[in-house]
């Protein structure tokens, strides 16, 4: 565990909670800010008063992302330590503020006065009890309360619940409100997670990574109040940020994006190919060469999708986006580059042999008319095996390159 600093001082003067004792800074309240002059002062004031009233040694940090409306001066006047973060983005501002935090525990929340910084006791209680991440929940499903006009209906009844369900199913995240920006965590956790997202995905990345790593996560109910800003619209854009979240979920879960669809396509292709090769009939439906062609297409696309699942997983692990996967490591323990190359070569040789046999049959007709139905039952499997083998060989080399250790 990192050593706790001896004291913490806001920019405006001495320690706002313990000016005389100089106690170690326990809690840093980090508020990202971009032109929030209407509300940032209120948020800082509530946070400062909460620290003082509860006798907590802490600080309030406003991580400013380039405000031009006097937000920095207002925040400093209310007792915050103002930090200028040059790199744009919600995540960049938070990472800058968290990195500069002197407290062992961090509570983050937005500067729009929708979160009540005068009621942080449940977060601190859970953090002191040993939880690594304490997520706020605004939705009734987690005991939270949404005040009238505090959240757009589409967000409340569809977007937020839907993405929260996906997070629970895909990443085993024990939360009911994926988008809640009010949360507490240990600074040690932030260092372990090594977050990379500089935009709105920062908050989602924290939950996904912590869940996948098996960190100790708790959820506490909170009340969401209406946005206190009047002169400009919220930074969140419904469809743009909804798509960004879905894309982020998919990229963090190659199993759902590539692997399972790929397996489904391969199985469907094998079934279709088997029916065609067996001259099967179901009622008036006859499975012939055209069915075999569709089956071949499904197999090729499915196999490529499975390969992309492996590519994405290895890249995410090596780049620190996902934790190590023991199942993947075990698989690579008995499937190495050489074995994969042998399998690829064998498939290609078998495919070329089938194609050569088809040419031999064609030659027996003097390279004239060749029975389409029977010929395609040889040509299509031959072309499919050749392509699969070639794909496997190239993919094996690429996987080997992706998995190389590098600085």
**Nearest Cα to 25, choosing from 58, 67, 62, 71?**
58
- 221 has pLDDT over 90: yes
Instruction: Work out the number of other CB atoms within 10 angstroms of the CB of residue 172.
Output: 12
Q: Are 41 and 78 in contact (CB under 8 A)?
A: yes
pTM: 0.76
* pLDDT tens for each residue of 241-257: 778 788 888 878 888 88
Site of tokens 């003082």: 52
Work out the widest C-alpha separation in the chain, in whole angstroms: 103
Q: Which two tokens stand for residue 385?
A: 């095996």
pLDDT category of residue 132 using cuts at 50, 70 and 90: very high
Backbone angles phi, psi at 381, to 5 degrees: -60, -35
pLDDT in tens, 191-213: 999 998 888 889 999 999 999 99
Q: Is the pLDDT of residue 21 over 60?
A: no
Cα 260 to the center of its chain, rounded Å? 18
Look at 132 and 403; give whichever has higher pLDDT.
132
Q: Which residue has the higher pLDDT, 62 or 314?
A: 62
> Closest by alpha carbon to 22, among 5, 7, 36, 40?
7
Classify residue 197 as exposed, middle or buried by CB count within 10 Å of its CB (0-12, 13-18, 19+): buried
**Predicted confidence (pLDDT) per residue in 264-285, tens digit:** 999 999 999 999 998 898 888 8
* CB-count burial class (<10 Å; 0-12, 13-18, 19+) for 26: buried
> What are the backbone angles phi and psi of residue 282, rounded to the nearest 5°?
-125, 105
Rounded Cα distance between 376 and 189, Å, is 59
Give CA–CA dist 189/336, Å, rounded.
Answer: 35
Please report the DSSP string for 44-90 in residue order: HHHHHHHHHHTT--EEEEEEESS--SSHHHHHHHTT-EEEE--S-SH
Helices (H), 101-138: 121-128
Identify the band that residue 4 occupies on the pLDDT scale cut at 50, 70 and 90. Answer: very low
Euclidean distance between CA atoms 5 and 389, whole angstroms = 59
């Amino acid at each position: 565990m990192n050593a706790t600093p001896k004291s913490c001082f806001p920019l405006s003067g001495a320690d706002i909670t313990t000016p005389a004792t100089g106690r170690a800074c326990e809690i840093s309240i980090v508020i990202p800010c971009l032109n929030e002059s209407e509300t940032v002062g209120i948020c800082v004031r509530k946070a400062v008063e909460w620290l003082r009233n509860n006798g907590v040694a802490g600080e309030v940090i406003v991580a400013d992302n380039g405000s031009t409306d006097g937000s920095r001066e207002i925040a400093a006047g209310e007792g915050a330590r103002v930090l200028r973060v040059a790199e744009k983005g919600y995540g960049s501002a938070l990472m800058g503020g968290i990195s500069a935090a002197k407290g062992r525990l961090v509570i983050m929340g937005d500067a729009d006065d929708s979160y009540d910084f005068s009621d942080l006791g449940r977060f601190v209680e859970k953090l002191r009890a040993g939880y690594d991440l304490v997520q706020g929940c605004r939705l009734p499903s987690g005991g939270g309360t949404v005040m009238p006009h505090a959240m757009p209906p589409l967000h409340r009844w569809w977007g937020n619940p839907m993405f929260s369900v996906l997070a629970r199913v895909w990443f085993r995240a024990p939360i009911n409100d994926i988008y809640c920006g009010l949360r507490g965590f240990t600074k040690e956790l932030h260092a372990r997670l090594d977050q990379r997202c500089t935009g709105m995905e920062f908050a989602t990345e924290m939950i996904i990574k912590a869940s996948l790593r098996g960190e100790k996560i708790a959820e506490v109910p909170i009340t969401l109040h209406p946005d206190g800003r009047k002169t400009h619209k919220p930074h969140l854009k419904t469809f743009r940020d909804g798509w960004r979240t879905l894309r982020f979920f998919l990229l963090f879960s190659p199993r759902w994006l590539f692997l399972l669809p790929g397996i489904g396509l391969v199985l469907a292709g094998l079934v279709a190919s088997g029916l065609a090769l067996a001259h099967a009939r179901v009622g008036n439906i006859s499975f012939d060469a055209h069915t075999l062609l569709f089956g071949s297409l499904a197999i090729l696309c499915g196999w490529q999708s499975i390969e992309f699942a492996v590519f994405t997983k290895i890249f995410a692990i090596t780049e620190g986006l996902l934790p190590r996967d023991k199942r993947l490591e075990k698989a690579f323990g008995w499937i190495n580059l050489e074995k994969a190359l042998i399998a690829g070569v064998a498939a290609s040789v078998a495919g070329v042999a089938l194609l050569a046999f088809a040419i031999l049959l064609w030659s027996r007709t003097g390279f004239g008319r060749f029975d389409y139905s029977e010929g395609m039952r040889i040509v299509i499997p031959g072309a499919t095996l050749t392509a699969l083998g070639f794909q496997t060989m190239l993919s094996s080399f690429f996987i080997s390159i992706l998995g190389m250790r590098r600085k």
